[in-house]
Structure 1
Amino acid sequence: MTAATAPADRARGDQLRAILRGPGVPSKQLRDGGLIDGIPELAALGRTPQDPTWHPEGDVLVHSLWAADLAAQHADETAAPTPADSRELLVLAALWHDIGKPETTQRRNGRITSYGHAERGAEIAASLGRRLGLPDPLVRAASAIIATHMAHVSVAGRPSPKAVKRLRDRLRAAGASLEEWAVVVRCDGDARGAAARPDASIPWLRVAATLPPLRES
């Protein structure tokens, strides 16, 4: 980052935070505010295709914006008022959950894959968050959710208490919660149009409910 570009990035970060914290529909505000073109990592999502079997809705940008809108809707419609800080985390993590796909997407035997995109996405999110001047706690929490948003894929059926506790503890250490992770997983699954799947977070939340409660640090 050069001294000339730093103020522009900081301004984009402030603009992004205002969108994340609400009110309004994130996808429209991001487009209207020029942030998609202004942030190269977001623009790259629109140039990244997805396997139509799993993502008939379109490219990664279409999917990510839809997920962000769903996260904002969840935050705005929950029975108890959602603090702006929580809305900000949910929408950011949903918006950036596939930000690693441009660097990991490949065509293999006629299929489009993006192995490792969650882990790479967390690295990109951490770097991008710093460049935009986002608060460190927000970036850490969002990066943890991004890194683990595919954790459920590796488990067939009901996850073990050990696996759930490990995920819960990892998220908590980063300033996030299993419940916030579950919202992003749910939005990811729903933002697939005709290929939407049952909520993959439910088995994890059910097992979490059987674990000893977390102690306040």
Structure 2
Amino acid sequence: MTQDQRKVGAALLEVARHADVPSQALDDDGLIDAIPELTALGETPQDRRWHPEGDVLVHSLWAADLAASHALEYDLDGERRELLVMASLFHDVGKPQTTRRLNGRISSHGHAERGGEIFRATGRRLALPRPLVDAVVAIVETHMAHLSVHGDPSPRAVRRLQHRLAAAGTSLDDWGIVVRCDGEARGPAARPDASVPWRRVAARLQ
């Protein structure tokens, strides 16, 4: 790990914690070019049926901006804002390595799981705090969990997800915010908040 990489990591954390518009700050600070995992997102197309907004970088930057706006609206503390912005920014970091074209369509099966592996390595290289990395990895790896069910998930599925997130130092609420930002950052194809059924079942369990 070089001193330059530590500086890049510190600058990234500063953006996640304080920037009103992370996408602009990342561009202004040259971090998109300085972090290969972000650069690769801009080189990765998406199926326009689900992502008419553009490539994976466009989508991810938009999601990060939405997370920052949420943190501002609800006056979240710096550490929680940092987590939400980072998880939203890197939630699709596995897509460059999993995106395939098949029969004229673009898919990225397995990108969530691969994304967790990639972000863990990114965190080590940039000397990001271990608790933050653990929490981001857990959200990245599970941000597609809502697609596994139709309607309300079972109490067992919700508890399993809650336990997995809690073990990594995060929560279903944090997960839900990132899932919502992912769904909204799609332009005309924006989706309703897919975390709602999961949070509804979790509330009943309480």
| TM-aligned CA deviation for residue 195 of structure 1 | 0.2
Match of 1:113 in 2: 107
Q: Point out where structure 1 has 5 or more consecutive residues left out of the alignment.
A: 213-217
Q: In the TM superposition, what whole-angstrom CA distance separates every residue of 1:42-69 from its partner, at most 9, and x where no partner exists?
A: 0000000000000000000000000000
1:63 aligns with 2:55: no
Match of 1:177 in 2: 171
> What CA distance in whole angstroms lies between the structure 2 residues aligned with 1:198 and 1:37?
32
Letter in 2 for 1:33: D
Q: In the TM superposition, what whole-angstrom CA distance separates every residue of 1:93-116 from its partner, at most 9, and x where no partner exists?
A: 000000000000000111000000
Q: TM-score, normalised by structure 2?
A: 0.99
Q: Point out where structure 2 has 5 or more consecutive residues left out of the alignment.
A: none
Match of 2:9 in 1: 13
State the aligned residue count: 206
Q: TM-score, normalised by structure 1?
A: 0.94
| TM-aligned CA deviation for residue 121 of structure 1 | 0.2
Match of 2:26 in 1: 30
Letter in 1 for 2:124: R
Match of 1:51 in 2: 47
> What CA distance in whole angstroms lies between the structure 2 residues aligned with 1:195 and 1:64?
15
Letter in 1 for 2:7: A
Among 155, 166, 173, which residue is 1:161 paired with?
155
Letter in 1 for 2:159: K
Match of 1:190 in 2: 184
The ranges of structure 1 where at least 4 consecutive aligned residues each deviate by more than 4 angstroms after the TM superposition are none
Q: In the TM superposition, what whole-angstrom CA distance separates every residue of 1:120-158 from its partner, at most 9, and x where no partner exists?
A: 000001010111010000000000000000000111111
**Percent identical residues:** 65
Letter in 2 for 1:42: L
> What CA distance in whole angstroms lies between the structure 2 residues aligned with 1:197 and 1:82?
24
> What CA distance in whole angstroms lies between the structure 1 residues aligned with 2:172 and 2:114?
21
Match of 2:144 in 1: 150
> What CA distance in whole angstroms lies between the structure 2 residues aligned with 1:210 and 1:166?
15
Letter in 1 for 2:145: A
> What CA distance in whole angstroms lies between the structure 2 residues aligned with 1:41 and 1:122?
12
> What CA distance in whole angstroms lies between the structure 2 residues aligned with 1:157 and 1:62?
29
3-state SS, counterpart of residue 172 of structure 1? helix
Letter in 2 for 1:123: E
Match of 2:77 in 1: 83
3-state SS, counterpart of residue 112 of structure 1? strand
Cα distance, 1:41–1:23 mapped onto 2, change above 3 Å: closer
| TM-aligned CA deviation for residue 23 of structure 1 | 3.6
Among 189, 200, 203, which residue is 1:206 paired with?
200
Letter in 2 for 1:75: A
> What CA distance in whole angstroms lies between the structure 1 residues aligned with 2:20 and 2:196?
28
> What CA distance in whole angstroms lies between the structure 2 residues aligned with 1:24 and 1:166?
34
Does the 8 Å CA contact 2:9/2:127 hold for their aligned counterparts? yes
